Structure 1
Amino acid sequence: MNVFAYPASASWSLAIHGGAGGRVEELGVQGDGEYEEGLAEAYRAGALILEAGGTALDAVCAAVVALEDNPLFNAGRGSALRHDGSIQTDAAVMSGGRAGAVAAIECARNPVTVARRVMENGSAVLRASIPAETIEEWGLELADQEYFRTPGRIAQLDNVQAGRIPAQKHGTVGAVAIDCEGRLAAATSTGGMVNQVIGRIGDSPLVGAGTYARDGVVAVSCTGAGEAFIQGVVAHEIAARVRHGGADLADAVRDVLDEEVGGRGATGGIIAVGADGRVVVAHNSPAMFAATAAEGAVTVWS
């Protein structure tokens, strides 16, 4: 297991992740730097908002939108294809004690913006299968299935179904932040697992499992084998150990990842930011895509 902890280096903190598990060869990366560039670009999108005094919620949503627009990452345009070759996306946001989430969305270009709209609407916390008409009425951008069916994802599904490669169980993007007013926020978005069965929902849109934020405590976004994160209620368990048990944030992240994910024979990763601005990045998977600011520079894991 790898655990990295960094103290706050400014009046705000931000961390992002692009999933645990490593590169997908079928996505046709032309150079080793493309994942790193995508992570750095997404980090900058959120950091610019925080530098200007913006909210943690705006920052995490901007960072996740940038990752959703990048076909290298399993969210938005880069979503993995299901067993029948279609896509469905899930996302969640949480800030200020409020949350919004969406599951089984088929036509939103940026699912995280739909999750935020659900939160702001206030009539529900989790909504599934929201029709295109509603998303359009909300003024959010639509995309048809062909937008998501990239050549790389089609090739990946073909290889998995032919037994040439194993099905990758990782693939999520997320962001956590604290702003200069001390507000915490988390956002997570995913296209699920390649070749997943119709009807499966992972941990990303489940508040407390893959996504959680509570002011004065912590913001958490997870990635990995979703079923383990659901059964371990991982994001909330970390918050509970910090809030009620007085645990050090790095210790809470490490122990929960070990007990609730590793203990179920699963792998994944976690990013978290505490009320003091400290950032923790941890994973027990072979690789982890993540970025945060450390010692005055953006540090990228890949």
Structure 2
Amino acid sequence: MSVNEEAIAAPRSTTLRDVPPQNGFALALHGGAGGHIEELRHESKAAFEDGLAIAYRAGRAVLERGGTALDAVCATVEQLENHHLFNAGHGAALTVRGDVELDAAVMDGTGRAGAVAASRHAKNPVFVARSVMESTPHLFLVAPDEELVAGWGHETAGQDYFITEPRVRQLARMQGLLTPAPRHGTVGAVARDKHGTVASATSTGGMVKQEMGRVGDTPVIGAGTYARNGLAAVSCTGDGEAFIRGVVAYDIAARIRYLGMGLADAVEATIENELTSKNASGGLVSVDADGRVVVAHNSPTMFAAFEDASGLVMLT
């Protein structure tokens, strides 16, 4: 286990970035909480930053031309799913069987939501989650087949597209460990558009060496993904089971709604009460109704990108 991976196991006090509204719209993304996995330690800081910047620019372009928050978060997450350095889509973590089962969810501020779990055929599961929301009466589908994915007009891919050599080596290393090791990772984005609507999208390959059929917090609305106009949008990453137990994304919105807390205070209180106090680690990106962005984590590091008064900020 690398030094970074050892550090992930022990949650610490919350690191929080609180950014006031900037441009009439707002966007923040994350590429997972924790640090570099051992098998990707040779990759440069610049390579991770490049991946975050590409994704950020894709979402920002949508918002800048007056597009919706939902379009922006989907465009952002698409780029992260396509990038081999992040645990979603191409380059996702492998199950105990050595293949991928991908989860994703989207939600906009009107209360509409869609989610998918154990996706094996869609190149970009975030778009399948959106189709569940927009093209069916359902909210959550498990293991959508290739015919359904293609029928919605989405690009399909075989398992060889998702599986990368570093993830094969990571699985082999994890199979040889006698004690549990941190093994999560997720991507996601939140946005507020010029019309005041918020949205969230999250996508993941789950945990390396996870059992077949395991589902974490990412596609569980209110746990890893949540958005509600007038309150906030939240996308989470970390120890998925803890985020589900604590209903973390919704808990933040509930603190704003029922206790009148500001976004930063709500985020800090939720992380302390539902994660740190329960020895769980992770992080999140969030945006409130005014476009204030809060990025926070109790893991040693988190991959993230957002803008402040000085320009684009990237955490790696």
Q: TM-score, normalized by length of structure 1?
A: 0.98
Identity rate, percent: 54
Q: Structure 1 counterpart of 2:187, which letter?
A: V
Q: Which residue is 1:71 aligned to?
A: 84
Residue 139 of structure 1 aligns to a residue whose secondary structure is coil
Q: Which residue is 1:147 aligned to?
A: 161
Aligned residues: 302
Residue 195 of structure 1 aligns to a residue whose secondary structure is coil
Q: Which residue is 2:18 aligned to?
A: 5
Decide which of 50, 59, 67 is 1:37's aligned counterpart: 50
Q: Structure 2 counterpart of 1:251, which letter?
A: D
Matched, 1:14 2:14: no
Could you tell me whether the CA contact under 8 Å between 1:3 and 1:283 is conserved in 2? yes
Residue 90 of structure 2 aligns to a residue whose secondary structure is helix
Q: Which residue is 1:161 aligned to?
A: 175
Q: Structure 2 counterpart of 1:254, which letter?
A: E
Deviation at residue 170 of structure 1 after TM alignment: 2.4
Deviation at residue 166 of structure 1 after TM alignment: 5.7
Question: 1:201-240 to 2 correspondence within 5 Å?
Answer: 201-240=215-254
Decide which of 115, 140, 147 is 1:133's aligned counterpart: 147
Residue 78 of structure 2 aligns to a residue whose secondary structure is helix
Q: Structure 1 counterpart of 2:129, which letter?
A: A
Residue 86 of structure 2 aligns to a residue whose secondary structure is coil
Distance between the aligned counterparts of 1:280 and 1:139, measured in 2?
Answer: 35
Aligned Cα root-mean-square deviation (Å): 1.2
Q: Structure 2 counterpart of 1:51, which letter?
A: E
Residue 45 of structure 2 aligns to a residue whose secondary structure is coil
Q: Which residue is 2:70 aligned to?
A: 57
Q: Structure 1 counterpart of 2:289, which letter?
A: A
Distance between the aligned counterparts of 2:172 and 2:85, measured in 1?
Answer: 17
Distance between the aligned counterparts of 2:271 and 2:44, measured in 1?
Answer: 32
Deviation at residue 262 of structure 1 after TM alignment: 1.2
Decide which of 297, 303, 306 is 1:283's aligned counterpart: 297
Residue 77 of structure 1 aligns to a residue whose secondary structure is coil
Q: Structure 1 counterpart of 2:262, which letter?
A: D
Distance between the aligned counterparts of 1:166 and 1:207, measured in 2?
Answer: 27
Distance between the aligned counterparts of 1:99 and 1:296, measured in 2?
Answer: 34
Residue 33 of structure 1 aligns to a residue whose secondary structure is helix
Q: Structure 1 counterpart of 2:191, which letter?
A: A
Residue 259 of structure 2 aligns to a residue whose secondary structure is coil
Could you tell me whether the CA contact under 8 Å between 1:184 and 1:219 is conserved in 2? yes
Matched, 1:109 2:130: no
Q: Deviations over 1:34-64 (max 9, x none)?
A: 1111111100000001001000000000000
5+ residue gaps, structure 2, are: 1-13
Q: Deviations over 1:67-93 (max 9, x none)?
A: 000010000112100011011000000
Distance between the aligned counterparts of 1:56 and 1:81, measured in 2?
Answer: 31
Deviates more, 1:3-12 or 1:24-33: 24-33
